[in-house]
Structures are given as C-alpha cells and as structure tokens.
C-alpha cells in the first residue's frame, strides 16, 4: 500500500494505492490519474532561471514546455546552469531546444528587451 496526497486541485485528497494499483480516496478522476502516473512514471514541470549574458546580473525565468521525468531534473539543471542567453528574450521563445533529447524545450516565461 502506498499513500499520496493529490496535488492536482486544492482539495488535497488522501489517496491510497494498493498492490494492484487500485486507487481509493479520490473525489475526482484526476486524482486516480495523478496517483497512477506518480507511481509508474513521476514527472514534473521544471521552473528556474537562466543568466542573461549581455545584461549585468540579470536572470530570466524559464520552464520546460512539457513535463519531464522526475529523475532527469538534476541533469537538466546542470545544462541550464551552464547556459547563458543573449537579450532580447521573448515569452515562449526557446532557450534550450530538445534538452537531453527528451523532446522537451526550455522556454522563457518573461521578456527582456
């Protein structure tokens, strides 16, 4: 048996998953989907910042455009921490394309003109 707190909505259902992957405690179908994904293939959206090379002491916020496997987060952060970008930067433009060959891009979530 595994216990999880659902983070999909503000309700925070206390989920119980048995050895046959039966989910109980969820008030909506999204809780069941979340529990099964969390146990079989946990993934997250990564949000962080990247240094802007042509602006002194400036960072720009970025995020993954899709969820990435949870076990790849630190590997992605190593790449991001070595990366610098040049302004101008625009919302949803790609900062790093196809990071770790996962089919996921790192995109800007803010603008610097």
> In this structure, what is the dihedral angle of CA atoms 3, 22, 20, 4, given to the nearest 10 degrees?
-10
What is the domain class of 44-108 according to CATH?
A: alpha beta
Q: How much is the pTM?
A: 0.84
| Sequence ranges of the domains in the chain | 2-40, 44-108
Q: What is the pLDDT of residues 59-108, one digit of tens each?
A: 999 999 999 999 999 999 999 999 999 999 999 999 999 999 999 999 99
Give residue 31's pLDDT. Answer: 93
Give residue 56's pLDDT. Answer: 87
pLDDT of 36 > 90? The answer is: yes
- How far is it, in rounded angstroms, from Cα 94 to Cα 16? 39
User: Once rounded to an integer, what is the mean pLDDT over residues 41-59?
Assistant: 94
- How far is it, in rounded angstroms, from Cα 90 to Cα 112? 7
99: which residues sit within 8 A by CB, 6+ positions away? 64, 68, 76, 79, 105, 106
> Mean pLDDT of all residues in the chain?
95
């Amino acid at each position: 048996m595994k216990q999880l707190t659902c983070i999909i909505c503000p309700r925070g259902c206390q989920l119980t998953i048995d050895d046959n992957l039966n989910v109980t405690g969820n008030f909506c179908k999204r809780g069941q989907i979340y529990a099964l994904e969390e146990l079989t293939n946990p993934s997250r959206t990564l949000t962080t910042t990247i240094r802007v090379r042509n602006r002194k002491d400036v960072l720009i916020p970025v995020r993954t455009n899709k969820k990435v496997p949870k076990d790849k987060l630190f590997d992605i952060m190593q790449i991001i921490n070595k990366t610098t970008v040049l302004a101008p930067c625009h919302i949803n433009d790609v900062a790093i394309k196809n990071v770790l060959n996962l089919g996921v891009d790192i995109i800007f979530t803010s603008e610097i003109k």
